[in-house]
Every structure is written in structure tokens, then in C-alpha cells.
Amino acid sequence: MTLPAGLGLIDLHAHVLPGIDDGAADLDDSLAMADQALEDGITVVCATPHIHDDHDVEIDALAGQVDALNRVLRDAGRPLSIARGGELSAPLAARLDDGTLRAVTLGGSGRWVLVEPGPGPMDGALDECVDALHERGVRCIVAHPERHAGADAAQRLTALVERGALVQVTAAFLTGGHGAAPVMLDWAAQGLVHLVASDAHSSRAGRPLAIRAGLDALLSVPRLAAHGTWIAREAPAAILAGDDVTVPF
Ligand SMILES: [Fe+2]
């Protein structure tokens, strides 16, 4: 099953802010990424700069930078909205105070945070991070587990999902003969994949700001086939609004 035509997609993971981290190099790059998004049918992009010791992102400035890009997009006639967010490095999470943590939640709602596992395969430290964030009232979305997959990845994801985390995979890795695709589709068949994102960093290299082809690949999994609208729109919208999310599959 493919996605309904005209459904405005939401990408919850993109490095679209100009000159912030290793994402868009400049405003022209951001605008070109916005055009990629619109071409793909995306209407909302969550800006998720790296909140990581390797990147000197000024968290206090992010809201203003999102507002500025939205103004540029509006003035340029691009019908795309940028939402606030961040991609929080798991090892860093415990060091953020509550106000700073809230500033990097998706949509700025204080409810959902995108967590990047620490380097290497997922391990118990990620479980502890998720538990600690949940105890602080912030729900976790685990970013690109396919990049942190050890031999026990499915068991790791099962434990994270049982803890209440959602799992987000990278759209481009679901298509184009990528080696991880069968593994990701197997996870999806087990109910361990809930969201698809571009994790785009630039219009000039790497993955485009697009998710539709990856979503279509994911919807080839029978368990998910009837849930394209939920995955592409309803769940991401609820997350940006800070609402609860109940997985329907
Ligand atoms: Fe990312």
C-alpha cells in the first residue's frame, strides 16, 4: 500500500538550519533542502541540530533560528513549516538541566525528544538514558538504530519499546539496495519501527530531505500497510504537539 496522494508528510529529523552543525551550509542550502521536502510532499520539517559535545550548538539561540528560517521560507513563497527540535546525544542527556532539555524537545513542547544513541552498538547505557528521561517526563524517540545495530539489535529495540520509546529509521536506508534495509524491514515486522525520517544534512551531498520512498518501502510490511497516514502524519503531528502517542500496530 502506498501513501494517499496529497497527504502532507512530516519529517521529524533534518539538519535544515543553516550554519548550525554539520547540516545546511548556508541559507541557500536550507532553501534547496526545503525544495526537496516540498517536492517529496513534506509540509513540516522538524529542525534537529546535533546536541552533542562534538557540535557547538547554542541551544538558547535555536528558537530564534527556527523563526528566522520560517520567515525566509514564507518570504520566498515556500509552503513549508520548520518546527523546533534537536537530536540529543544520549551520553549528554543527563547533563542537561530541565529548561535546556525542554528547548530541544520536538516542537518545543517539552514532551518528546529525539535521542541519538552513543557511538557503537546500542547497549544498556541507552536503556538507562531512556529511563532517566522518562522519569523526567520526557518521552524518547530513538534515532537511526540501524547505525547502532549489534547482533542483539532486535532485543535491544524490544527492550526500548517496552520502556515506552518510539523508534525512528532513516528513509534512505530503506531503499536503493542499502544493506540494512532487510534488517530494518524485519524490525518493522516485529513492531519495532514507528517513524521514518530523512536525517538530511544538505541538498548538496548525502541523503535528500525526502521520506516518501522510504515510507513506501516500509508500508510493504503487512503489519504496517494500513498505517501509512499514522506513520507519516498523525504520529509526528502528535509528537510535535506534545501529545501522547498510542501505536496502532
Ligand atoms: Fe541526524
Q: Which amino acid is at 64?
A: G
Distance 50 CA to ligand 1 centre (A): 7
pLDDT, tens digit, 9 for 90 and up, residues 100-151: 999 999 999 999 999 999 999 999 999 999 999 999 999 999 999 999 999 9
Asked if residue 134 lies in contact with residue 94, where contact means CB atoms within 8 angstroms, the answer is no
Residue 202 clears pLDDT 80, i.e. is over it? yes
Asked if residue 103 lies in contact with residue 60, where contact means CB atoms within 8 angstroms, the answer is yes
Distance 249 CA to ligand 1 centre (A): 26
Residue 227 clears pLDDT 70, i.e. is over it? yes
Distance 48 CA to ligand 1 centre (A): 7
Residue 2 clears pLDDT 90, i.e. is over it? no
Ligand 1 (ion): which residues have CB within 5 A?
A: 87, 199
Domain boundaries, the chain: 9-241
Q: Residue 32: what pLDDT?
A: 98
Question: Quick one: pLDDT band at residue 178, thresholds 50, 70, 90?
Answer: confident
Superfamily of 9-241 according to CATH: Metal-dependent hydrolases (3.20.20.140)
pTM strictly above 0.85: yes
Residue 219 clears pLDDT 80, i.e. is over it? yes
- Annotate 219-245 with b (16+ C-beta within 10 A) or e (fewer): bebeebeebbebbbbbbbbbbbeeeeb
Q: Residue 5: what pLDDT?
A: 77
- Kindly report the average pLDDT of the chain as a whole number: 96
